[in-house]
Amino acid sequence: MFGLFGKKEETTKKQACDLPFLCWQCEMSAPGGCGSHGESKGVCGKTATKSRLQDLMIYGLKGLSAYREHANELVQEVGDEEARKTLKEVDDVNSETLYFTLTNVNFNFDEHIAQLMKVGQAGVKVMNLLSDMHTKALGIPTPVEVTQNKAEGKGILVSGHNLDMLEKLLKRIEERGLSDKINVYTHSEMLPAHGYPHLRKFKNLKGNIGKAWFDQTDVFSKWQGTCVVNTNCIVPPEKSPKVKNYIDRLYTYKITGVEGAKKIENDNFDPLIDHTLSLPDITGFDSDEKIVTGHHYKTVLEAFGPKVLDAIKEGKLKRVWVIAGCDAPGRKRNYYRELALAVPKDHIIITSSCGKFRFNDVDFGTVPGTDIPRYIDLGQCNDSNGAVHIAMTVAQALGIEDINELPVSIALMWMEQKAIIILLALLSLGVKDIYIGPNAPQFANEDIVNFLVENFNLGVISGDIHKDFGKELAS
């Protein structure tokens, strides 16, 4: 689709890691691990490429497991028989894939790829399941403008992806008659919470504070109230001395943990609530900024679906950009802001995950001659499935069989293993021409890169938006 295969391949191969593999999972291991002294295969005969593909499976399963856990919590509360069946299918892929990576099980390259696609398919299923469970439990999100960096009164700042925990906390504050005494704010991946009707109805769910996960050391240090991290992307004390400024006000939930922080046990939010009441009111957060969220794919299709189709047919809407994924420290991700700002006015941007904080302060307005917003925030990283639903619906309505034929450009940021399951999910659906970045995954060697480039035209961003997307930006 891009016609940039050569350039993409060159940049991507240049960034591939040439280090040997490392496997030390069985007794036959070479001293220090097979591959640790530059061997190209292990004692069992497993090659470096197959070992790395098995590593990739494990990383995909880690992301899958995170979504599976959140889906499971909701399936137990609002799920039906169909939901439980899907959960079982996901769990079966998890077990089968772990089995696949045992010593002396499989030495066939194509079957490694097929297993990776199975993991990707499980990713599609679990994201759809989680999305459905969220909308069943909390209603379908609608677009909403949220205050940014404005806070008052006693405050709890909640960061992470667990919306179910947020609802339980808000309910408990209400049960105790404290809704006018304690305000709750979102941070990072909790921002999309504001779009859900059953969360928005709590008037003490006020606004958003800070940006992506890694600013938590600065934001939590400045915050006078309590803070909760309910999923991954926590900065530990080992990483930053600033954590000591708030560790006594930091709470973790379920699987998350940090030494020195307090744990919310058995959904008992009272210690957190009591602690918050004992702390001073929040000061120093008085910005007038606003940001927008809440464009769940179900809302987008319902509210804008026919308008989008008309706009495409009339030539008012020329291209859709998916600029999404994980944020992380460093200037290399400025690329994604530069790209979002360079997107022509008759194109729209679909985003999700915390990478959106790189550009969600910008008012992108509407597509000229329409009321279609140019900026669509699907939600958290697990809501990335929405982009596929939108693409498939549009393709079907336009009579296009292959979604790769749609005028869509995709630039993803990756950081950790949830991004890997999202990428595997997209590949398993046959989505091609994806750019990832800002860095190439170090677990991929030349063989794996060649395979991804040749079969999916996957590329790593070059750092120059015009080199990667010049044609699309000019279209």
Among 233, 317, 348, 458, indicate the residue that binds ligand SF4 (CB under 6 A). Answer: 233
Among 9, 17, 36, 44, indicate the residue that binds ligand SF4 (CB under 6 A). Answer: 44
Shortest CB 214 distance to ligand SF4, Å: 8
Among 2, 24, 109, 456, indicate the residue that binds ligand SF4 (CB under 6 A). Answer: 24
Q: Is residue 428 a contact point for ligand SF4 (CB under 6 A)? A: no
Q: Is residue 25 a contact point for ligand SF4 (CB under 6 A)? A: yes
Q: Is the dihedral of CA 428, 18, 439, 458 positive or negative?
A: negative
How far is Cα 311 from Cα 369, in angstroms, rounded to an integer?
9
Which CB atom, from 115 or from 457, has the smaller least distance to ligand SF4?
Answer: 115
Which CB atom, from 211 or from 319, has the smaller least distance to ligand SF4?
Answer: 211
DSSP H or E stretch at residue 337: helix 334-342
Residue 460 is classified by DSSP as E
**Selection from 329, 360, 380 nearest residue 166 by Cα:** 380
Among 132, 189, 433, 472, indicate the residue that binds ligand SF4 (CB under 6 A). Answer: 189
Q: Is 354 annotated as a binding residue?
A: yes
Q: Is 233 annotated as a binding residue?
A: yes
Helical pair 5-14 and 465-473, crossing angle rounded to 10 deg = 160
Per the CB < 8 A criterion, the answer to whether 184 and 269 are in contact is no
Per the CB < 8 A criterion, the answer to whether 100 and 137 are in contact is no
Q: Is 17 annotated as a binding residue?
A: no
DSSP H or E stretch at residue 220: helix 216-222
The count of residues in the chain is 475
Among 173, 273, 323, 326, indicate the residue that binds ligand SF4 (CB under 6 A). Answer: 326
Q: Pattern of binders to ligand SF4 over 339-378, x per CB under 6 A? A: --------------xx------------------------
How far is Cα 165 from Cα 269, in angstroms, rounded to an integer?
10
Q: Is residue 208 a contact point for ligand SF4 (CB under 6 A)? A: no
How far is Cα 447 from Cα 432, in angstroms, rounded to an integer?
18
Q: Pairing relation of β-strands 290-293 and 144-147?
A: antiparallel
In angstroms, how far is CA 133 from the centroid of its own chain? 17
Among 1, 17, 26, 247, indicate the residue that binds ligand SF4 (CB under 6 A). Answer: 26
How far is Cα 197 from Cα 200, in angstroms, rounded to an integer?
5
How far is Cα 64 from Cα 366, in angstroms, rounded to an integer?
35
Q: Which residue is nearest to ligand SF4 (CB)?
A: 42
User: What are the C-alpha distances in Å from 434 to residues 174, 321, 400, 460?
Assistant: 45, 11, 19, 8
Among 188, 252, 293, 445, indicate the residue that binds ligand SF4 (CB under 6 A). Answer: 188
Which CB atom, from 327 or from 472, has the smaller least distance to ligand SF4?
Answer: 327
Among 56, 129, 209, 381, indicate the residue that binds ligand SF4 (CB under 6 A). Answer: 381
Q: Is 227 annotated as a binding residue?
A: no
Q: Which stretch binds ligand SF4 (CB under 6 A): 37-45, 70-78, 171-179, 311-319?
A: 37-45
For ligand SF4, the binding residues (CB under 6 A) are: 23-26, 28-29, 34, 42-44, 46, 103, 188-189, 212-213, 232-233, 326-327, 353-354, 381, 415-416, 418
Query: Would you list which residues are annotated within the binding site for [4Fe-4S] cluster?
Result: 23, 26, 34, 44
